[in-house]
Structure 1
């Protein structure tokens, strides 16, 4: 198993069992060429397996004949909370979702045309215009013939965490993006750059993420890019963040904490760095993040520890004790208890998955 084969929501054992002779894959990005998840000529199987990525739906295939047999393929890699995928039905097809899954999805046709019924509105996907799908959206996709999709899936919790760090405060409502994402604008360059960097890291054998390093920052780049580029109900809050007052101090403190998570950090260190009194920075964290500075430090260290445990492979020789000590948890029992309370499983369970 490679690090990037650890897809948490799909059974990759299907990759070695095509139903019939494969039609040559068309336009699969180089980064995904060796990451086939399934290739099948069975409509029901394609519906089920693609449903793990996109959400459960009903698949209707058009013009499936003996001369032009149906065949669907999916290539995908998942880091932790960001998945990059390529889905191709080789036919015109409709995907009807009662409600999409609990994740954000960016659908980018690489050729062809995608018409969408999106919560009752009509939205079009083209090579220069992606469609951003919010969680639990009533959606019908109508894919014209020869319309493979490049897909980015982002987990809800990760997007909310990143937005909270960017705002310097907690997020008090669900994030809802506008559906149409024009890819030819100047801001969209940031999105393209993030996807290109992700692709480069995936396809380079000795890259940082192939060595189990840097997946977190790379995911944060992808997530922050869509938050910054795409209109949403939180976009004004993000682009209009005040640079004075408590929020500026919290953002400064959060940046300091992120840069020194593996180092000893005290409350006084945070206060000095932000030029605030200890009491003032505590109040700012309470008002904006509904926590204390040191609880924030602990939670971020737990997240880093979880990421390292989830990324580890048996050949790495990683132990729970090593990870706990790296992130400043010197009492293994306390670490395990805090970890289980936060994530609902023990550190050793995460490591074994």
Structure 2
């Protein structure tokens, strides 16, 4: 059996788990990586080859998959996770029995939710990447998007992104995820950033691909009393070093995520996560000031510790709030 290794086609921190022309071996390993599935070669079996590699950080797995021959795969429903698939080259025809079918070409995406039965017909040499999210993450993001208090059974159309603008938005988030995985980004070592990026990816998925929620209506948010805002503020200040999400703050406030967002805009002119960012910015400032003159402390260390994985954006926020750069606070 092929041993997991960094193969010649596996970029960055992705490990090659399959690099083989053995049909049975491929079926066994990829069934373990995804879900049990049937794999058959529609052309000359001697032309069959397969490559599969994966990598990731807590919350997200990125994988690459390629078949060298015309191939048909028929997995069982994914059950515990969701896949956002994007063709890199070649084409596939994805079919959901009794529901939908679609031809997908380079650069296009489709979503396989945890409940869908499907088959995928691969053209020879087709290659794709996938972004994997846990079902619980997706279902909570769907509830947040609809202003509901609890997770919902989230299903998706095979139709790809909703618009060209949606495609650009998804491509941007996907590129960040891939850079974190392939380029040894800080999400691999920072639970806070990994959680934030996972939540951002799931929230972007809700806005860029068609969510199917038959029989579910968004709740009316109504008016939230100011004490709910104060409760969320208290949690943000007490647990700023933890990977808090909008859902966490809404639970603490005892209201729905959408209601809390509206309350923050009404009373504070910001969002719950915007307020949390300001708290973390203040903590970073305090830490930089306390470490003034300490050569062992760096701006990047402090920024990452408080959840700012983009140093340029951190510096811009800091400059806007304090009137000088974070490095000036550390030096002077």
Identify the TM-score tier after normalising by the shorter chain.
Answer: 0.5 to 0.7
Other structure's SS at 1:46 match: helix
Match of 2:267 in 1: none
Unpaired runs of 5+ residues, structure 1, are: 1-10, 265-272, 290-353
2:35 corresponds, among 44, 51, 55, to 55
Separation in structure 1 between the aligned mates of residue 141 and residue 232 of structure 2, nearest angstrom = 11
Pairwise mapping of residues 184-333 of structure 1 onto structure 2 (< 5 A)? 185-205=164-184, 207-213=185-191, 214-234=193-213, 244-246=222-224, 257=235, 260-262=238-240, 282=254, 284=255
SS in 2 for 1:36: strand
- 1:309 alignment partner in structure 2: none
User: 1:61–1:91: 8 Å Cα contact kept in structure 2?
Assistant: yes
Q: Distance in 2 between matches of 1:91 and 1:225?
A: 34
CA spacing shift, 1:145–1:183, aligned 2, 3 Å: farther
Higher relative strand content: 2
- Per the alignment, residue 139 of structure 1 pairs with 118
Structure 1 residues 241 and 72 mapped into 2: Cα distance closer, same or farther (>3 Å)? same
Q: Structure 2 matches for 1:71-220, cutoff 5 A?
A: 71-120=49-98, 121-167=100-146, 169-171=148-150, 173-182=152-161, 185-205=164-184, 207-213=185-191, 214-220=193-199
- Cα distance, 1:73 vs. partner? 1.3
The answer on 1:44 being equivalent to 2:24 is: yes
Say if 1:227 and 1:235, in contact at 8 Å, map to a contact too. Answer: no
Deviations 1:281-317 (A, max 9, x none): 55x47xx99xxxxxxxxxxxxxxxxxxxxxxxxxxxx
- In structure 1, distance between residues paired with 2:227 and 2:144: 12
Cα distance in 2 between the residues matched to 1:133 and 1:255: 37
Deviations 1:296-345 (A, max 9, x none): xxxxxxxxxxxxxxxxxxxxxxxxxxxxxxxxxxxxxxxxxxxxxxxxxx
Shift of 1:115: 0.9
Please give the TM-score of this superposition, normalised by the length of structure 2.
0.63
Alpha-carbon distance in structure 2 between the residues aligned to 1:89 and 1:95: 10
Structure 2: tracts of 5 or more residues without a match? 243-248, 261-332
Q: CA deviation at 1:155?
A: 1.0
- How big is each residue's C-alpha offset from its partner over 1:40-76, in whole Å with a ceiling of 9 and x where there is no partner? 222112112212333211000233455x4x2211111
Measure the CA separation in 2 of the matches of 1:44 and 1:251: 57
Distance verdict in 2 for CA 1:186–1:237, change over 3 Å: farther
Residue correspondences, number: 251
Separation of aligned partners in 1, 2:33 and 2:166: 27
**CA displacement, residues 130-185 of structure 1 (integer Å, 9 cap, x when unaligned):** 22111131211101112111111111011123344455542363111111213861
TM-score of the two chains, using structure 1 as the length reference: 0.59
Partner of 2:282: none
Q: How far has the Cα of 1:106 moved from its partner?
A: 1.5
Measure, in 2, the Cα distance between the counterparts of 1:250 and 1:55: 43
Most deviating of 249-258 and 123-132: 249-258
Q: Secondary structure at the residue paired with 2:177?
A: helix
**CA contact 1:71–1:89 (8 Å) conserved in 2:** yes
**2:15 aligned with 1:35:** yes
Paired residues of 1:165 and 1:251 also in contact (CA < 8 A): no
Q: Give the superposition deviation at 1:92.
A: 1.3
Q: 1:295 matched to which residue of 2?
A: none
